[in-house]
């Protein structure tokens, strides 16, 4: 008993298979949602609820996909819309690790008053791969980034404060009498 191999039936059955692949929504440096899926990044181009359309962040790469949400931190099923699902550039899996580490450092720096060296020491053990270590930011770059984020997150009244002026003994008395 021999079975015939029908290419068209096989092709149609393969096309009907729907693999549930999830992409993670992260935050871009400018605060917008960004989709991370299979080591590639996508930016939001259309938000027609409940369908959110994404495009590859690289110029001249026309890969598009869609999700059912864009809440930062959540994962959604990714559906490809375009015929072209092949990127015309290589993926960068290490970039995701670096950006996630940087966003965690930024959140910690804006929420606490710890010195930069203590914040950096909390995230040192997250990098384990040799290539990640080689491509990670230097200690000085992280320290400057933390200082910049701390300065940005200060309340307005503290930003304008230049410092305390030391008053001499004779200067205090006229000021106290005038109030």
Distant-in-sequence, close-in-space partners of 29: CB < 8 Å, separation ≥ 6? none
Alpha-carbon distances, residue 108 vs 1, 20, 90, 97 (angstroms)? 68, 33, 32, 17
Q: Are strands 22-27 and 79-80 parallel, antiparallel or unpaired?
A: unpaired
What confidence score (pLDDT) does residue 52 get? 93
Count of other CB atoms within 10 angstroms of residue 18: 8
What confidence score (pLDDT) does residue 164 get? 55
What confidence score (pLDDT) does residue 86 get? 86
Residue environment code for 76-93, b if the CB has 16+ CB neighbours within 10 A, otherwise e: bebeeeeeeeeeeeeeee
* Token couple for 58: 């690289």
What confidence score (pLDDT) does residue 20 get? 53
What confidence score (pLDDT) does residue 2 get? 46
pTM beyond cutoff 0.85:
no
Report the chain (179 residues): mean pLDDT per 10 consecutive residues: 61 56 86 89 90 90 90 89 80 81 87 89 84 86 90 72 54 54
């Amino acid at each position: 008993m021999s079975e015939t191999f029908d290419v068209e039936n096989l092709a149609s059955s393969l096309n009907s298979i729907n693999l549930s692949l999830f992409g993670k929504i992260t935050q871009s440096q400018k605060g917008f949602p960004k989709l991370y899926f299979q080591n590639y990044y996508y930016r939001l181009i259309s938000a027609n609820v409940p369908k959110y359309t994404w495009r590859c962040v690289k110029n001249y790469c026309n890969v598009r996909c869609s999700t059912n949400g864009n809440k930062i931190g959540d994962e959604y099923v990714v559906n490809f819309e375009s015929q072209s699902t092949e990127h015309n550039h290589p993926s960068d899996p290490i970039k995701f690790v670096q950006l996630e580490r940087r966003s965690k450092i930024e959140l910690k720096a804006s929420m606490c008053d710890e010195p930069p060296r203590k914040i950096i020491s909390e995230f040192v053990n997250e990098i384990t791969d040799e290539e990640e270590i080689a491509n990670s930011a230097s200690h000085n770059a992280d320290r400057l980034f933390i200082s910049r984020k701390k300065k940005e997150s200060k309340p307005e009244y503290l930003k304008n404060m230049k410092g305390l002026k030391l008053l001499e003994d004779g200067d205090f008395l006229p000021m106290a009498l005038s109030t």
